[in-house]
Amino acid sequence: RQRDADARRLEPAVTRDGHAVEVAANLGDAGEALQAVELGAEGVGLLRTELVFMSHAQAPGQATQETEYRRVLDALDGRPLVVRTLDVGGDKPLAYLPMPAEENPFLGVRGIRLSLQRPDIFEVQLRALLASAQDRPLRIMFPMVGGMEEWRMARAMVDRLLLEMPVADLQVGIMVEVPSAALIAPVLAREVDFFSIGTNDLTQYTLAIDRGHPTLSGQADGLHPAVLRLIDMTVRAAHAEGKWVGVCGELAADQLAVPLLLGLGVDELSVSARSIALVKARVRELAFAECQALAQQALALPGAHEVRAFVTEHC
């Protein structure tokens, strides 16, 4: 199966009934971009920029960051790049960013909350991103956005910088990984250019299970109907406003999840580069109309076990 999938890795992912879904790569390192393209990536759906920050003893300046972002855009050769702004916080400390200890770091100053508290660091990152784009397709997204105010403050910073450094092909969106964002998706969708659903955190926060918990993390299954319902709400809200939705959490590479995500209307799946060929192969086995019916039925099931059994039985 892997060999057949590998042979077709550079072809698009289209269902038997002609529905195309974009398959992109999650990258943790700018150096991986070229390899991702060779493995079939149609773009980068999530560039985790933490590494750029964690690999330095001091906050990396604009020039250092620009070099990294340029490398990815060069490797992508016109394919879209979705970059996530710095997503560190209590659980991922940076030596040059002293932060008070928190009892619940996952509920603390993480992601966009930190960037808004440190506009100096945030602005340098945004400047580096805008400067690296030139006329290439750049999408910027903010992690851990929980509501409208955070989105508007972050977006305002981008807009202010755009006055000095315009970018021809830019979209600005958010990660949907906090349940409150999914629940107000109809409001957010009017203003964002796109959503990218981070199922790792969305599952953790919806089910109240620490994603790294030594005994409970196995139960943090993104196929729980509660998570699927949030994904459904997010996609419906986005499409009603003509915006696109990706999924960039681990769930996107799960062979049982792919038919459901497709059926819910997700437009892009972003997975680790080594999973791309198999995700594309999975899409080609499916019929979109059947996935839509399957997804609607899955939403009504009581738990993740039932969803997994149901999908296994039906496709």
Can residue 80 be called a binding residue for ligand PEP (CB under 6 A)? no
Residue 258 binds which one of ligand PEP, Mg ion, none, with CB within 5 to 8 A depending on kind? none
Helix-strand-coil percent breakdown of the chain, rounded to 5?
Answer: 50, 15, 35
What distance in Å separates the CA atoms of residue 131 and residue 35, rounded to the nearest whole number?
Answer: 24
Pick one of ligand PEP, Mg ion, none as the site partner of residue 48 (Cβ within 5 to 8 A by kind). Answer: ligand PEP
- The C-alpha angle with vertex 285 and arms to 294 and 233, in degrees rounded to 5, equals 35
Q: From CA 195, how far away is CA 175, in angstroms rounded?
A: 6
For ligand PEP, the closer of residues 86 and 286 by Cβ is: 86
Choose among Mg ion, ligand PEP, none what residue 259 binds, the Cβ cut-off being 5 to 8 Å by kind.
Answer: none
Residue with smaller CB distance to ligand PEP, 37 or 253: 253
Q: Which of 239, 110, 121 is nearest to 178 (CA)?
A: 110
* Binding track, positions 154-193, relative to Mg ion; x by CB under 5 A: -----------------------x----------------
The neighbouring-strand residues paired with 14 are: 20
Q: Which of residues 83-112 bind ligand PEP (CB under 6 A)?
A: 87
138 binds, among Mg ion, ligand PEP, none (CB under 5 to 8 A by kind): none
Taking CB under 5 A as the criterion, the residue among 22, 32, 201, 221 binding Mg ion is: 201
User: Which DSSP letter does residue 274 get?
Assistant: G
CB-wise, 227 or 287, nearer to ligand PEP?
227
Stated as kind and residue range, the H or E segment containing 270 is strand 268-272
- CB of residue 113 to ligand PEP, shortest distance in Å: 14
Confirm if 139 and 82 have CB atoms less than 8 A apart. yes
The reply to whether 269 sits near ligand PEP by the rule CB under 6 A is no
Which residues in 61-205 belong to E strands, given as ranges? 81-84, 138-142, 170-176, 194-197
Q: 15 or 42, CB closer to ligand PEP?
A: 42
Residue 198, interface with Mg ion (CB under 5 A)? Answer: yes
- Closest among 56, 93, 82, 181 to 139, alpha carbons compared: 82
